[in-house]
A and B are shown apart, each in its own frame.
Chain A
Amino acid sequence: MVGRAEPVNGSVKSGSNQSIPAAMQSPLKKSDLIPNLSLKTLKLKTKQQELLIRVSILCLVYVLAFITRLFSVLRYESMIHEFDPYFNYRTTLFLTEKGFYEFWNWFDSESWYPLGRIIGGTLYPGLMVTAAIIYWLLRFLRFAIHIREVCVLTAPFFASNTTLVAYFFGKEVWDSGAGLVAAALIAICPGYISRSVAGSYDNEGVAIFALLLTFYLFVKAVNTGSLAWALASAFGYFYMVSAWGGYVFIINLIPLYVLVLLITGRYSMRLYVAYNSMYVLGMLLAMQIRFVGFQHVQSGEHMAAMGVFFLLQVFFFLDWVKHLLSDTKLFQAFLRITVTTAIGVAAIALGVGTASGYISPWTGRFYSLLDPTYAKDHIPIIASVSEHQPTAWSSFMFDFHILLFLFPAGLYFCFKRLSDATIFIVMYGLTSMYFAGVMVRLILVATPAVCLISAIAVSATIKNLTLVARAKNKVTQTGFVRGSSSSKGSSKASLDQSQPFQRNGAIALLLGAFYLLSKYATHCTWVTSEAYSSPSIVLAARGAHGNRVIFDDYREAYFWLRKNTPPDAKVMSWWDYGYQITAMGNRTVIVDNNTWNNTHIATVGRAMSSYENEAYEIMRSLDVDYVLVVFGGVTGYSSDDINKFLWMVRIGGGVFPVIKEPDYLVNGEYRVDKGAAPKMLNCLMYKLSYYRFGELTTEYGKPPGYDRARGVEIGNKDIKLEYLEEAFTTSNWIVRIYKVKPPNNRWERCSIFTLGPHRAALPFSGNVSWLGRITTSLQTLGLDEWIYRCPKC
């Protein structure tokens, strides 16, 4: 602003005094107009102005980060999104109603029936406690708000806080300009917004803040060697552990970083203080979280940190001995002995620990991170989740946009100015980029690093360019002055000839940079509004007249369950909908999104992929009262249960070999039309999805029973249910709920005993009237026991 105002003043002056050129240097004018004293105060003010500008930019970024995440609230309503957030919301509600101790000891009998789930010991409580504290604080300040509002706005609030941390981190790693750019970039980066829009009340919302905070505090601790910062970073780590399982990334990245510093000869007392105090205190704090507990010193994922901890001690010890021993030869010998012993002890400890089972091996999730193909072969339940798929290039582009190109540039700048801090950010960037490539959802972890490194690129480039532009500005101005004073400055002019070109180039590049950045902003806003702000529980589509059509079927079904089923009813559905059913339907579910028991999920998968009578046995054994399926055939909603069905088969088949995937495929092809496999056409999931669908005309000009999600006419239109009955179907058929009929009275059921009209269905006839003889005669006929449950009853 100041710089822009001056030429205006100058031109005013030039009007009155022709000899002085337009772009006069400011000190000259000021000395003319303003006494010396005021010059001093003005200079001070510039400094303050800079602070003011910086603070106000930060404030704007803070606000921007918050409001850009409110699209979904404005488009839809203040509601919780997707699947996991519903569990978090339910637990938060419980926490605020019953208090912390009840929450900590909560045994939830409403999920994983009949096993139940120990909630307090199997979740990361950070998010819920955070929201509850905000809620209690606001209540204390006499703001009578609903806990739902707090939950909905927690993620945007923490995203705003993340921008502040990004600023300080950027300032620590590079300079305050880079910090500002980093804050601005991360505020609107789609990779982060995807998990932190209003309503996305998930662990990641606060975890990214905690992650970045821990890293920042640790880098600060390494830079200053201050115990206080190290302790602060330990507490940041504690918060991260309490919030998200992704803390494993921190506890492996930091040791790796320390190791790299040791190898590159950057070991210092600062590093020693920072790492040791952070690790020891962080470990003790992390063990307070019940879900982590002793895993922190026992499981394979945490061993790297411990190893580096001991390594640092050895390093320190050697350093000290070296300091005491003046003789280098003696020291060399000592070094050899110590290193050998240390490695030996470590190897033995690791071996004994692993062999005795004290150190647990790496979990499947961890393996699948290191080897992207692992999950597909060994853990179908992890592979079945779409956000666990390897990332496509397009989604990198979608989530990072220009940052993807700025990232290497930023790496270049970091390598050019190598320091402890830049090494850290480089390592963070490279490792997290690798993980982002392995799993879609880990783009989130990479986002802060990408933003920071890109910010360094942007800030350094723009700074260099403006320096060039400004410096040449001055020279040409002085040249001008001289030219007018003597009116013959030809020799000087030739000297400056290359400079205007350079300056123009710099200005052009600057404009280009601003164009790119503004493109980035446009892209981010577009992505946020179009892709990441849909709650996924309410579906919106464009109607024929351009109006917005809302499909609110999920809530319709859940609310129906909530109000019109017995309070102790058990609902069986695929695990995706478990959290939503318990939170919105308030009913007990068999399996839910906390996929802790694979066998249980496989049982449900088996029931869904069996014939109805077999499934009935399973459902009876699980006390199932209602079965809920999601069906998109009417609306063309493609993420329904039929499309997920193969995963049910795979997961079910993984535990129960009775279920074989090829039974459901025709020549390796998955079909639902006439050419589908017979087992497919008669399995429970198919029947429940398409029950009476064959009578419905979905699209003009198509035969009845035309499935719009898959674009085919279904193969089995005459579906009869024996053991289930349709209890409810939502207005767009997206959710269908079936009631499991109670077993019929035994005497009524089987015609053998009553000798009723169905007797002809039996492979024999005769006047038998008691059970023993029947069973024996059936056995002599070589029939399974279940056959005598007459299928027509």
Chain B
Amino acid sequence: MGFRFDLLLFMIALLSVPVLSDRILSKVDRRIDLTTQAVRITSTLKVENAGSDLVSEVLLAFPDDQAKHLAYLTATNNEGKGKAKSSSVSFPVDVVRPKGMPPSLTFYSVSLPKGLGKGDSLTLEVLAVFAHALQPFPERITQADIQLVVFYETAHYLSPYAVKVQSLSVKLPDARIESFSKIENTKIHGSEIKYGPYENLPPFSYSPIAVHFEANQPFAIAQQLIRGIEISHWGNVQVTEHYNLVHGGAQSKGEFSRLDYQARPHVRGASAIRHLVAKLPPRAHFIYYRDEIGNISTSKLWGDPKKTELVIEPRYPMFGGWRTAFTIGYGLPLQDFLFHSEGKRCLNISFGSPINEVVIDTLIVKVVLPEGSTDISVSAPFPVKQGQETKFSHLDVVGRSVIVLEKTNVVPEHNQHFQVYYKFSSLSMFREPLMLISGFFFLFVACIIYMHADLSISKSSPSYLAKLQWYEVQAGVPQVRNIFDRCLTAHDKLEASLRDLSRTGDVQACKASRKAVDNLLKDLSKDLKPLLVSLQSSPQAAQILPKVEELIAKERELQEKLMVKHSTVVDSYEKKLSGREIENRVALQQQKITALRQEVDDLLDFIDEI
């Protein structure tokens, strides 16, 4: 109540102040909406120029106590009443300090571009939104108590001008009203209290009233909200919002009983914040909801082509004074928010929080532009503090420019679009993928170089020489192997010629192929000699050499046996012996050949393993 007393004192001070008599307010109609925690006062002022000069501004006065909570103020001219809202013109509003005015008032001047001629009148629609204007009373309640708040206002419109006729209506969320100031002409209709009409009041009239009522709507206050908006020209605008939330209503005291809360959540915990609704733009995707220690699983998402609705529950129901912090993030399609204008790119995105119930003490919007953006400019529909910083994200070299916009006392009315203009070359988009590609390319090149370069320090150390020799041996072995393969092929050819013989009986052809194979084998054994010599000379080949030598011996033997067999078969054919006889004659040889062939194969396999 001390607050009201202050105002009374201050009213007395007002009486000694000069009055601007050239403008009068012929009619003032005020509606105060107390249904949410942000208090909205809509005043319809009919301004008349009673003086002789052209009037170009109208002053609006607020007490300092109120002005410091003032979050949003607009003045529009509603020409056609009711329907023709499209023709409303909003006027620029600025803080002014007119001389000779009482000290504890803050003045805002509405500039009228056209001016107001003598005798003319104008209807102004002034919307003022206050944050933190409702005070919980009592300040501390238990879980079972309901939350009561008190609101102070003046029943008479505080203005530097004389007011002819005025009225005030206060709309409350609920019918339950603890108490309200009763002065003359006070009426109550359900949840609405009406003061007035009052007529012919002098400037700076003031009649304090207080309304004490039940308000169980959540008092969600974001002490700080950081919105990061990151543009990727690959088709995405990523929005990340870090909330630091507190329940700004009456502080809770005493026990919190989960049992009571579970049993009757609307009685025991009526004022608690259970959930918040974030209305995201349509086609939002990759939505997440988490905090410092991980994902929060209590959220629901609905989407339709017009909007996406995210219902989030904090980890715990929030009672008065309880705090929480969380982050929501979502991606938006780039083409919905980024446009081209006059050779520049223009990001057009909303400023405030998508959660409508929240009043924000400090809102920081950080627009992260792609690396390489230039000529950056911002246009916002209301004054904001601007700054710039640099952020390093994936694959950044010089960093991305970040536009930082800061605003205090943000209410849902601030949810308007703002624009960021910048220049960005489309080619820059490909810089980062190219960087990655070239990075990998150089990595592989480096690997190739490493594999091929000889990095040993001492070229004469025994281990180095041994290594070189070992490489030689390794190179030599496949050659040996190759020669043997060819030998075996030759053998197979011989066998094939025998089969042909059995089918066609052409002895000559068989002999010819025998000759060819003989030559081939001779050539091969010639080829083998230098390889063998080099193997013998190398100490590193000690392991392989005996095997190779064994192989050569076996192969020789095999070759001889084959030749013998071939000769026998050919002889028999020349002698026209029967198939069975030939078979009998060859059988023993064949058995040996098979065994030898097996051994040779085994040896070859062994060499392969080395």
Contacts and interface: CB of A to CB of B under 8 A. Distances in A.
A65 B323 CA distance: 42
Interface stretch (B125-133, B388-396, B551-559): B388-396
Interface stretch (B10-18, B90-98, B157-165, B579-587): B579-587
Given A39-B485, A692-B259, A486 B293 contact: no
Given A485-B499, A552-B297, A564-B322, A725 B598 contact: no
B257 interface: yes
Interface string B228-259: 00000000000000000000000000111111
A28 B297 contact: no
B67 interface: no
B256 A730 contact: no
A39 B295 contact: no
B489 interface: yes
A728 B579 contact: no
B297 A696 contact: no
B397 interface: yes
Nearest to A28: B492
Contacts of A729: 256-259
Given A25-B492, A47-B478, A552-B315, A142 B485 contact: no
A545 interface: no
B295 to A, nearest CB: 4
B102 to A, nearest CB: 43
A731 B493 contact: no
B343 interface: no
B583 A559 contact: no
Contact of B486 (A36, A491, A696): A36
A19 B496 contact: no
A725 B255 contact: yes
A44 interface: yes
Given A142-B392, A474-B601, A563-B325, A730 B316 contact: yes
A220 to B, nearest CB: 16
B482 interface: yes
A31 B598 contact: no
Contact of B297 (A43, A550, A733): A550
Given A79-B295, A478-B597, A142 B255 contact: no
A730 B316 CA distance: 7
Contacts of B298: 552
A491 B492 contact: no
B293 A555 contact: yes
* A interface, size bucket: 35 or more
B594 interface: yes
Contacts of A556: 315-316
B1 to A, nearest CB: 30
Interface string B496-537: 101100110000000000000000000000000000000000
B305 to A, nearest CB: 27
A558 interface: yes
B580 A488 contact: yes
A27 B258 contact: no
Interface in B565-589: 579-580, 582-583, 587
Interface string A474-516: 1100100110011010011000000000000000000000000
A27 B492 contact: yes
B293 A563 contact: no
A733 B502 CA distance: 93
A692 B293 contact: no
A764 to B, nearest CB: 34
Contacts of A36: 486
A486 B573 CA distance: 14
Query: Interface SS of chain B: helix, strand, loop or mixed?
Result: helix
A97 interface: no
A728 B597 CA distance: 85
Interface residues of B, number: 53
A142 B394 contact: yes
Nearest to B395: A142
B415 interface: no
Nearest to A725: B255
A695 interface: yes
Contacts of B323: 563-564
A38 to B, nearest CB: 11
Contacts of A491: 587
B598 A475 contact: yes
A77 interface: yes
A552 B587 CA distance: 83
Contact of B295 (A77, A142, A471, A730): A77
Nearest to A728: B256
A34 to B, nearest CB: 11
Contacts of A76: 295
B128 to A, nearest CB: 33
A27 B598 contact: no
B478 to A, nearest CB: 6
B113 interface: no
B462 to A, nearest CB: 14
Nearest to A36: B486
B316 A560 contact: yes
B594 A555 contact: no
A559 B392 contact: no
Contacts of B315: 552, 555-556, 559-560
B422 to A, nearest CB: 21
A486 B397 contact: no
B258 A144 contact: no
Contact of B293 (A40, A559, A727, A733): A559
B258 A731 contact: yes
B488 interface: yes
Contacts of B296: 552
B594 A478 contact: yes
B291 A482 contact: no
A726 interface: yes
B324 interface: yes
Contacts of A731: 258, 316
Contact of A31 (B394, B489, B580): B489
Contacts of B594: 475, 478
B294 interface: yes
Contacts of A27: 485, 488-489, 492
B590 interface: yes
Interface in A374-392: none
A691 to B, nearest CB: 9
B481 interface: yes
Contacts of B394: 142-144
Interface in A537-589: 538, 550, 552, 555-556, 558-560, 562-564, 584
B259 A695 contact: yes
A488 B258 CA distance: 94
B502 A485 contact: yes
A503 to B, nearest CB: 15
Given A77-B294, A555-B294, A559-B315, A485 B498 contact: yes
A478 B591 CA distance: 11
Given A474-B598, A696-B259, A31 B492 contact: yes
Interface string B297-330: 1100000000000000001100000111100000
Interface in A57-94: 76-77, 79
A379 to B, nearest CB: 33
A552 B325 CA distance: 16
B316 A43 contact: no
26 contacts: A19-B503, A27-B492, A31-B492, A31-B493, A43-B478, A44-B478, A142-B394, A144-B396, A474-B598, A475-B594, A485-B495, A485-B498, A488-B583, A491-B587, A538-B294, A550-B297, A559-B293, A563-B322, A563-B325, A564-B323, A584-B293, A692-B259, A726-B256, A726-B257, A727-B255, A729-B256
The 5 closest A-B pairs by CB, nearest first: A729-B258, A31-B489, A563-B323, A77-B295, A556-B315
Interface of B: 254-259, 291-298, 315-316, 322-325, 392-397, 478-479, 481-482, 485-486, 488-489, 492-493, 495-496, 498-499, 502-503, 579-580, 582-583, 587, 590-591, 594, 597-598, 601
Given A474-B601, A538-B294, 8 more contacts: A31-B493, A36-B486, A40-B479, A143-B395, A481-B495, A492-B590, A559-B291, A562-B292
